[in-house]
Amino acid sequence: MIDLSAERIIVTGGAGFLGRVVCSKLRDRGLSDEQLIVPRRADYDLTSEEGVRRLYCDAKPTVVIHLAAEVGGIGANREHPGRFFFANMAMGLHLIEQGREIPLKKFVHTGTVCAYPKFAPVPFKESGLWDGYPEETNAPYGVAKKALFVMLDGYKREYGLDSAVVVPVNLYGPHDNFDLNTSHVIPALIRKCEHARLNPGEHVTCWGTGSASREFLYVDDAAEGILRAAERIDTPDPINLGTHQEIKIKDLVELIADLCGYTGKIEWDHTKPDGQPRRCLDTALAEKLLDWRAQTSFEDGLRNTIEWWRQATTASTA
């Protein structure tokens, strides 16, 4: 087990939605600001070999927690499949290769539920990751992230690079991305319901049929799971992070509308895709190896997220 408070840690994506919580929890574990390095895109292009080499030279890390990703909802994945593959593949490729040359003590990689096969048996077990092709709209992103599982396995066997791999289900919470063009389903629905609630006569339009199901994990719970993997795991065998509970998108829309206080019309655009039919993770491995399970109830997490969005929009218009 590694004591993170004694390390110099790079958190890629550390200023983002998940990263800010991971960094906060690292400080709670005793890491000083001098030991915690959060690279900014303006200073270091992590998709380039030169950018990563310069980052490592400047920061002199012993541990890397790789959270940075280019990602979005179904629409963004359909519009940018090439970019999403390249950016996510290139970042991981250079960070791992340069990391083994330092060498790092440990590399922690955050995968994605999009790596699972489209028709994987529910609940998804880590052993089934390679049993089929991912859902088509998410495949470039999912395959790029999953390829890095293989790279880390090879680097462990050939170079002895210790690593950990976690596979979180869809995340949500305060500070999420609420841009309707690139956001995931929960922030998009909160924004739509709040807009319609505040603008009488408006209605909410949702993609697909609402029949697909999803599982969601509160961002604080995900951050704790990632750090426990960093502390306890040194082989890149994927470990699911989730709640082992799923909800149909139709029921999710109704729940968010209710929590927002929106009572108006909800329409479904059947010309848009549903995405993967079902998503629900088996989390037994995380409970066994990390002594981890999600602590935040879904409704409490949604209320926190809605309240944060209301405060953020109020502050922006003040």
Q: What are the residue numbers of the active site?
A: 141
* Cα gap 195→264, rounded to integer Å: 11
* Cα gap 45→49, rounded to integer Å: 8
SS3 of 213, please?
A: strand
- Name every residue whose Cβ is closer than 8 Å to that of residue 108 and which is 6 or more positions away in sequence: 63, 64, 65, 66, 163, 164, 165, 166, 226, 229, 230
HSE toward the beta carbon, residue 11, CA cutoff 13 A: 28
Q: Torsion-angle region of residue 218: left (phi > 0), alpha (psi -120 to 50) or beta?
A: beta
SS3 of 7, please?
A: coil
Structure tokens at 66: 């790789």
Cis link prior to 236 (omega < 30° from 0)? no
- Asked whether the beta carbons of 215 and 170 are under 8 A apart, the reply is yes
